[in-house]
Structure 1
Amino acid sequence: MSKKSASIPVHTMPNEFGLGIAIARASVEDLEDIDEINQVHRDAYHVFFLQEKGTSHIVVDFQDYNLTPQSIGYIHPLQVHRVAALVDVKFVALMVNTENLNPEYLALLQSIAPVKPLSLSGEAFALLMEAASLCLKLYERKDEKLYQPLLKDSCNALVGLIAAQFIARPQTAETLPRFEAVTKAFKTEVERSFISQKRPAYYAQSLNISVPYLNECVKNATGHPVTYHIAQRVALEAKRLLVHSGKSVKEIAADLGYDDYPYFSRLFAKTTGITALEFRSKNRD
């Protein structure tokens, strides 16, 4: 068994990308850091993929995904992932730190994350590639007088087009718009606060609604109550640390806001159907 680091590695934007934006068209032969991205890590920035050719096999939070030609992918900064295989690939990758994202687009991305890779029609993918081509051209024009704002605006246009494709997915007739809006806001707040806040009352108060109404919205939109989603988010973070770090279960419990280690162990087993140590044993390399 390979030795695990104390925590999950976080990749930061290289110093040469001082603007907090990088975009490139690449094939597997162009990747100098292939060994690094093959290892489990998080990125401290948002990553968008436009797959032109071949197949990229990625593992994101214990789920396997394939990006095939004319498909797009998005990995947000919290997600634990690695590139498992690249087969005859050609793609465009856009990396943007949070500070450079249009606030409206950032809120949208936070509300839809995580998302599965999405296959597009030829027309939709061609539009994205046109926007990506402009970004690529501007990225190289470093002597342009308005280089930074032009690059930022063009890349945000591409991000907006990508986000629009994800939110254009069909919605079920049973999902009422108000219920879905409240549920998205709830999930966004859970993402920010799940370590310190476990009680439904906190999330209801942050959204200025009652606990019963919050439960009604979330259950109608997802089929599960508020407590289920909080427990699932805690369990996901625990799984990440169990498999990809060398921390003990007691240390992980403390990291996730639980002083009562036995309670955390019971909650994990109830949520996942398996004990923390069993999960670690089954999923470690």
Structure 2
Amino acid sequence: MHQRTVGATGLRVSRLGLGTMTWGRDTDEHEAREALGAFTERGGTLLDTAAAYGDGAAEELLGSLLGDVVARDDVVLATKAGLGQRRGTPGRGARDTSRRALLTTLDASLRRLGTDRVDLWQVHVWSDEVPLEETLAALDHAVATGRALYVGVSNYAGWQAARAATWQQAVPGRAPLASLQVEYSLLNRAVEAEVVPAAEGLGLGLLPWSPLGRGVLTGKYRTGTPTDSRAATSHLASFVEPYLDDRSRGVVESVVKAADGLGWSPAEVALAWVRDRPGVTAPVVGARTAAQLRSILGVEDKVLPAEIADALDDVSALD
């Protein structure tokens, strides 16, 4: 698999990442093992997880496979903290980006992952309740103590990423931000207005999550909701529902038409489009099963023709 650098750093990762949001809940140990094996056999290196995924279950499952399916030093291990650290209160109470919460969470992540350091540690969400300087100081401390080699942020708006990156660049010795993880796909291009230009200007590598539009761009929802899909589960139905509207259906039909003409799958078309967008380092693919993952790994050998990419740009453009 081709390698790319993460932003303006020396960190190199495969240009596709393997996401683990469903691991330990919808993806069991058998499927996770098969998926990890298939991904790394194709040269994939970027493994993305988070303390919030399954309340630590995803990290624990991933940690149990490292050293068995693949050597720890052969992958780039990325995790996140700051989301879901307070219990019992919804909404804002689910976010805690204080120094105490972040570093405590990092230590717990390291235990679950069975390692003494992660390659990339990211703040999962922005919080108005904690001074940004305190949050960023936790990143500095993680790097200074060797628990994280690189740091980044996730789900930040353009101005938030700019403020954080500028703060880190202002004084020598602070850990520069390497990455910005955001949702980005043919069904969600809102980040192109401010986030993408900010990331490019600040030297942050973009790591798009849900590059397949929460699964909708695979075409599986064209005639209804499959019983084995995310939209059929009580905990993920609301996650998929926003992309089952008329606009999304039009984009999906265009993707399917392009796929038919190329002899590709719709997922490969959608993934190739976002993978090769300006500023993108590696889309993170959260396949729920090993079979789903294998069906799209062939995109590594494919290049989306410019005329088709342009046509998809037009049909998916925001008003």
Fold shared, TM-score > 0.5 on shorter chain: no
Choose between structure 1 and 2: higher strand proportion: 1
